Amino acid sequence: MDLTFDGFLQTSLFRTSEKEWRLFSEDFMWSADKIASGFLNLVLFRYCQFSDVSICITTFNVNGKSPPDIIPGWFSDDSVCDLYAIGLQEMDLSVGTYLIDNPKKMEEWMECIRSSLPKSGKNFRVVTSMRLIGIFIVLFQSKTSAVKVSKINSAYIATGISMFINKLGNKGGTAISLKLNDTLVCFVNCHLAAGTGELERRNQDFRDISQITFADGLSIYDHDAVFWFGDLNYRLKSENSVWSGDQVRHIASSSEFPALFKYDQLREQQSIGQVFVGFQEPEILPFRPTYKYDVGTCIWDSSEKARVPAWCDRILWWMRDPETRLKVLRYESVEQIVISDHKPVRAAFNLRIRKIDQTKADQLYDEAIREADRKANELLPQVSLSMTEVDFGEVHFLEPSTHVITINNTGKSTVRFKFIVRPERGICAKWLQITPPHYVIPVGQSTQISLTVVIDKEVAWELKDTKLQDILVMNLEHGLFGVSLEQLLMRKKETVVQNLIDFVSYPRSSVLKQNR
């Protein structure tokens, strides 16, 4: 099946129904309380107390192995952290696990993890955990930690092999959302599609997991800090490498291993805006590839398949605002652990978290509200887009097509944008995916949005001979799109029309017309 899809960006104010005007007016209107809240963000030090919380994160693909009683050296005893987030993949590979829930392996690994924590885990409590077949995440807190942990939620998304209409969950992600004092933090553990040639499948798994929503309505990107880790399965780009597999293994065993990192698929895909937009990691990983080894050794895969070494196991982090400060203390693999064909990876951080003095915050809020009207017109968000027309050309069955749009913050205030969920239609049609669906852009900076068209069996059956068309409504928070005409007339200053991104089947010769 061949489908032609033309994209078109159009600036317009009058592309929504009267019902939608009323629905969106509260969210889009500049108001004194929103400006006052912005002022409070600038003077956090006047009503917040800041402290550091130490966090240790580790990811380990255990290859279905039963755990020993303890794994020495898994966690550093140099210093005890406040929180330990542990992500396992392939915890249980038995066929029966996909059909009948069996927590036995999880319980065994839980005891192994607890015993392997500093001081045999006696001074730690389990905060929460979440399991999806063999993808397991658990969070421990030191009993001596003074950090208040609240608003705990967990969720998962299954990807991978399908059985009838459901995913089995051999691949996917598990996530934990919580508040540390008054800072929102999210931990995501995942296992993405395997195989050197499955690059786009891995990218799609990331996009699917990015859609996780917790019971309280928060998405992954609604948190102040996000830690994303797991067996991401990104390999080395063999098509561009000048080395054979044996040469790669030789280099990976030597001190020259950093030379291989320029072929890393994840870093390449991240640089072109396909996945993990805004996430951070050291420029060059300070440890050797973590896959694939002969079990029980530190020798590269000697089987008939002779897998080429790769940095499959990773830990990445994302901060929503510059005010959320993070210090990376270590990022390393633990090569002496040999029970799996992967090496575990661990990282330690100091995250600055805040604790709000509500009485002081209320007093400052009252002061700020009196100045809010004066600031309203100065801080209207302004952005520019890298392109005004998006042409996907021909879109083929089961062949994803992706375009990247760069959004530049050209105004004088931080821009927070999101795509609006339309009643009974969601953010977009089933065949279109947006990553990320919302983001924060500091002044003078930019971000990229990936738009991916995928025609799968379900979509193709519904489409038949119809044309692909949809309208995406992108809202700049504090913008004026969707504000009632009555409210606009009450404003003293001329306003600027906000952007509507319209993806429909216009002719390719369509020209952008802007209303100013």
Residue 323 confidence (pLDDT) above 90: no
**Which pLDDT score is estimated for 411?**
85
Distance (Å, whole) CA 417 – CA 133:
35
Residue 320 confidence (pLDDT) above 60: yes
Yes or no: say if 440 and 394 are a contact pair by the CB < 8 Å rule: no
Residue 130 confidence (pLDDT) above 80: yes
Mean pLDDT of 370-391: 75
Share of the chain above pLDDT 90, in %: 52
Distances (CA, A) of 124 to 17, 482, 496: 55, 50, 54
Share of the chain above pLDDT 70, in %: 79
Which residues are within 8 A (CB) of 195 and not within 5 positions of it... i.e. 6 or more apart? 201, 233
pLDDT one-digit tens code per residue, 396-446: 888 888 889 899 998 888 888 888 888 877 888 888 888 888 889 998 999
pLDDT one-digit tens code per residue, 53-104: 999 999 999 999 999 999 999 998 888 999 999 999 999 887 666 556 678 8
Distance (Å, whole) CA 368 – CA 375:
10
**Which pLDDT score is estimated for 286?**
96
Cis peptide bond upstream of 292, omega within 30:
yes
Angle value at C-alpha 88, between 288 and 195, nearest 5 degrees: 60
| Helices 32-42/358-376 angle, 10° precision | 120
Beta bridge partners of 51: 353
**Which pLDDT score is estimated for 438?**
87
pLDDT one-digit tens code per residue, 269-312: 999 999 999 999 999 999 999 999 999 999 999 999 999 999 99
**pLDDT bracket for residue 319 (50, 70, 90):** very high
pTM of this structure: 0.68
**pLDDT bracket for residue 48 (50, 70, 90):** confident
CATH topology match: 2-30+379-503 vs 48-354: no
3-state SS assignment for residue 42: helix
Mean pLDDT of 478-489: 53
Fold category of 2-30+379-503 in CATH: Immunoglobulin-like (2.60.40)
**Which pLDDT score is estimated for 280?**
97
Residue 513 confidence (pLDDT) above 90: no
Yes or no: say if 91 and 105 are a contact pair by the CB < 8 Å rule: yes
Choose between 446 and 43: higher pLDDT: 446
Distance (Å, whole) CA 4 – CA 467:
8
Strands in 432-435's sheet, in edge-to-edge order, are 383-385, 401-409, 446-453, 432-435
Residue 45 confidence (pLDDT) above 70: yes
CA dihedral over 209, 213, 215, 221, signed as positive or negative = positive
pLDDT one-digit tens code per residue, 145-179: 999 999 999 999 999 665 444 555 589 999 999 99
Burial of residue 230 (CB within 10 Å: 0-12, 13-18, 19+) is buried
Which stretch of DSSP H or E encloses residue 351?
A: strand 345-356
Choose between 275 and 363: higher pLDDT: 275
Torsion angles phi and psi, residue 291, rounded to 5: -150, 140
Query: What one-character DSSP code corresponds to residue 427?
Result: S
pLDDT one-digit tens code per residue, 233-266: 999 987 656 788 899 999 999 999 999 999 999 9
Supply the CATH classification number for the domain 48-354: 3.60.10.10
**Which pLDDT score is estimated for 244?**
86
Q: How many helices (H) and strands (E) does the chain have?
A: 10, 25
Residue 509 confidence (pLDDT) above 70: no
Domain ranges of the chain: 2-30+379-503, 48-354
| Pair of tokens at residue 438 | 């919302």
Greatest CA separation found in the chain?
75
Distance (Å, whole) CA 186 – CA 177:
5
In whole numbers, what is the pLDDT of the chain averaged over residues?
Answer: 82
**Which pLDDT score is estimated for 6?**
32
Distance (Å, whole) CA 71 – CA 115:
8
